[in-house]
Structure 1
Amino acid sequence: MKTSHSILAAIIILGLGFGLWARVQEGDTSTFHVKVDLVVLGVSVTDTKGKYVNGLKPKDFKVYEDEIPQKLSTFAEGNGAPLQVLENGETRPLRKNGETTNQGNGPVDPHAINLRTDATGTNVFVLFDTSNYMYRGFVYASDSIADFIRGLDRADSVAVYTYSRNLNRAVMLNRDRGLAIAGLRKAVAGDDSALYNCLLLTLRDAAKVPGRKVVIVFSNGPDNASMVAPDDVRAVAEDEGIPIYVISTSELNKDPISSSIFKRISTNTGGKTYFAKTWQKQVEAFEAIREDLGN
């Protein structure tokens, strides 16, 4: 029986191959579509003094995967509008949705990329610790986050999530700063902390959004209620290409385990960790993050 099955399978394969060959000979014009994922890479370049280097061009970068050079499709600096990268390394503006003519009122280049308007700017997800660890500094933390939201670039979108044992999506992703701050002000402190559970859910939300995105975690203590491991969460962020920034109000030497985890997660995902116990230090940390987003 096994032999007959093998012969039958061979006949079917040969038959399919002959049919395909016959269609090609007849001039078949079938079109095959292949889905290719577009990967967003966020890069910051600094000089030997730690100052950001601006004015770089696509030709200044080389991207490899498994030692194979990859093609750059679009390029943007800071919150500037993305540009299409041509085969010769030159750039040109991207066509927006609904645009049917170019600036010279001529026909649109059929090879121009059509970019969704929501892909410009950065999608910022703020994850605010409202567990029982936050009782003392709750008001000051809320103020520093509000100042950060007000100072975001107009092109940026922001979502405000809060967490204790469960995740609360206080304000979904939008560009209305007043709405985001109003949602932030409704947060109340209490219950245990399940940071890594809630960070994982936040990453899943961010992964659904096109374009550049970051997650900013404002935490005041260790995780005592999560079911997932921090390194599992880190792996998801790495796979999705989402940088995680952490602002911790706990002192570095008082919670070395959490401090080490925060550093590992942020460093491996392309973000940074700031230890900011006072309100002034928290404001400075947010300013540093905002500068990162602009570069």
Structure 2
Amino acid sequence: MKFLTRALLVIALVSCTSAAIAQPSRDQKPKSETNSSQQPQDQDLEKLTIDTNLVTVPVIASSRTGSYIADLKKEEFKINEDGVPQEIAFLASVNVPFHLVLMLDTSNSTQGTLPQIQRAAITFLDQLGPSDKVKVISFDGDLHDWNDFTSDKAILRAAILKTKTSDNTRVYDAVQLALNQLRLIQQRRAIVIFTDGVDWHSESSTFDSTLHDLDESGVIIYPIRFDTRAFTEALARKQDAETNGMELPTSGILRKPTSGTPTTFPGDDPSPVSTQKRSSLPLPDPRVIFGRGTQIPQTGSPTDPFPDTQPPPGRRDPNDPNRTPNPGTIRDTQPKNDMISGMLNNLYLMADSYLGELADRSGGQLYRADTVGSLPQAFAAIAAELRTQYLLGYYPTNKAHDDSYRKIQVKISRKDIAVRARPGYRAKTVE
């Protein structure tokens, strides 16, 4: 009897212990489901971006008064590719951290202002989220990749303070380096580049090759353009005087067709394409001005200058203070028949065109900091926009990898909300 009683007590104790152990498991299941329901889109992002067929589209949403909208849902978005509706696979919320490459032009034109530029860049870092990861790249005649992606502000501040000025400016090579560094990143991605846009002696990349890769990448770019025209002209005229008339290239470039995304509201048609006349200057391919190649024939025809495989023409708001100036707005400091002035007009026209293309093709925004004092304001505006950026993803119904350019149109069902996104992408060929 004693043995039976002891056995029953053991069985009862084991049963109670098993029930106690099993109870937390039942309690934990709803908790896990709650966490999953809170962040399904963000978790899907890491799984989906592994697929090379996935197209990602950074999107900025704002009210008619310019306030950013941060509470949009996936169901409120619609996206078309070449006019065909696409099924949205995910929407990454504005809370998802991003990887950002901060690029600083440290050519000789920044020699007297570099400390101010460094301070503004450090202040910009302080406005980013604690989980955002940043890489610092500076460029002049060399490319300086200062750190791996990190959210450690001390490492980033040290990297910025290491930058020094030097000769030349390999803008195109630097942009290509930044795109390469972001190529395999799975979360939101952005580049902020502070430069005048004038390329001197890039070794492996060109105006066109970087834009081609940008069309494939899905990276959003925010150029901050600073004005070095006066510095460069003074240097050129000094050299001209010392050499009794130096030999300078006087040709320019053809202004590339910009590809800005029209701001639209529900039910509105896209803003009309600007009818302003193009520059009539006989300007060749960008490589010609540096003596690095021969002129490439322009594609298209007089009646259709932009073939279907190319990005659409620009649709920028003419009242936007950050808009790249049109060719006719550039002021000559010397008579129009002056060789140096003509060369510099063409150089800076190409630089403005390039920075405008980086912003327009990626869905970003071009800012102007004609004085270093206005740089903090530009950085602050970019940080505010990055904090409210969405990322849409979809698998295109056109599955061909043929290097063709596909036009994208993003719409929102909520009233009085404007959206800005990249105007299209290039279907990368399978290697």
2:367 counterpart of 1:274? yes
Match of 1:199 among 157, 175, 184: 175
**Aligned AA for 2:190?**
V
Q: Is the 8 A contact 1:221 1:250 kept in 2?
A: no
TM-fit CA distance, 1:49: 2.4
2:19 counterpart of 1:43? no
TM-fit CA distance, 1:36: 5.7
In structure 1, what is the Cα distance between the partners aligned to 2:86 and 2:199? Answer: 40
- Give the number of the structure with larger relative contact order, counting CA–CA contacts within 8 Å between residues 6 or more apart: 2
Match of 1:229 among 203, 206, 214: 206
Match of 1:288 among 381, 386, 395: 381
Name the residue aligned to 1:58.
74
Name the residue aligned to 1:244.
221
Per-residue displacement from partner, 1:247-273 (whole Å, max 9, x unpaired)? Answer: 122166473331222112211111111
**Aligned AA for 1:285?**
A
**Aligned AA for 2:363?**
G
Name the residue aligned to 2:240.
none
TM-fit CA distance, 1:156: 1.0
**Aligned AA for 2:62?**
T
Q: Is the 8 A contact 2:197 2:355 kept in 1?
A: no
**Aligned AA for 2:110?**
M
Match of 1:144 among 117, 120, 126: 120
Q: TM-score, with normalisation over the residues of structure 2?
A: 0.49
SS at match of 1:165: coil
Name the residue aligned to 1:265.
358
- The worse-fitting range, judged by mean Cα deviation, of 245-254 and 138-147 is 245-254
2:197 counterpart of 1:181? no
2:141 counterpart of 1:125? no
**Aligned AA for 1:40?**
T
In structure 2, what is the Cα distance between the partners aligned to 1:266 and 1:123? Answer: 17
SS at match of 1:286: helix
Paired residue total: 222
Q: Is the 8 A contact 1:133 1:220 kept in 2?
A: no
TM-fit CA distance, 1:124: 0.7
Question: Structure 2 vs 1, CA of residues 127 and 75 (structure 1 numbering), >3 Å: closer, same or farther?
Answer: same
In structure 2, what is the Cα distance between the partners aligned to 1:196 and 1:206? Answer: 16
2:208 counterpart of 1:208? no
Q: Is the 8 A contact 2:197 2:352 kept in 1?
A: no
Question: Structure 2 vs 1, CA of residues 138 and 221 (structure 1 numbering), >3 Å: closer, same or farther?
Answer: farther
TM-fit CA distance, 1:184: 1.0
SS at match of 2:374: helix
TM-fit CA distance, 1:221: 5.5
Q: Is the 8 A contact 1:219 1:249 kept in 2?
A: yes
Q: TM-score, with normalisation over the residues of structure 1?
A: 0.70
SS at match of 1:216: strand
Per-residue displacement from partner, 1:56-97 (whole Å, max 9, x unpaired)? Answer: 11011122334443333332332x2xxxxxxxxxxxxxxxxx
In structure 1, what is the Cα distance between the partners aligned to 2:358 and 2:54? Answer: 24
In structure 1, what is the Cα distance between the partners aligned to 2:126 and 2:165? Answer: 23
Per-residue displacement from partner, 1:143-172 (whole Å, max 9, x unpaired)? Answer: 111100111111211110111122111112
- 5+ unaligned residues in a row in structure 2: which ranges? 1-50, 229-324, 332-347, 389-431
In structure 1, what is the Cα distance between the partners aligned to 2:136 and 2:59? Answer: 24
Structure ID, larger Rg: 2
SS at match of 2:227: coil
TM-fit CA distance, 1:128: 0.9
In structure 1, what is the Cα distance between the partners aligned to 2:221 and 2:383? Answer: 13
TM-fit CA distance, 1:44: 0.6
Q: Is the 8 A contact 2:197 2:354 kept in 1?
A: no
**Aligned AA for 1:58?**
K
**Aligned AA for 1:260?**
S
**Aligned AA for 2:357?**
R
**Aligned AA for 1:74?**
F
Per-residue displacement from partner, 1:93-142 (whole Å, max 9, x unpaired)? Answer: xxxxxxxxxxxxxxxxxxxxxxxxxxx31111011111222112111111
Per-residue displacement from partner, 1:3-42 (whole Å, max 9, x unpaired)? Answer: xxxxxxxxxxxxxxxxxxxxxxxxxxxxxxxx66333321
In structure 1, what is the Cα distance between the partners aligned to 2:52 and 2:190? Answer: 23
Please, what is the CA RMSD of the aligned residues?
2.1
2:142 counterpart of 1:166? yes
Q: Is the 8 A contact 1:40 1:211 kept in 2?
A: no
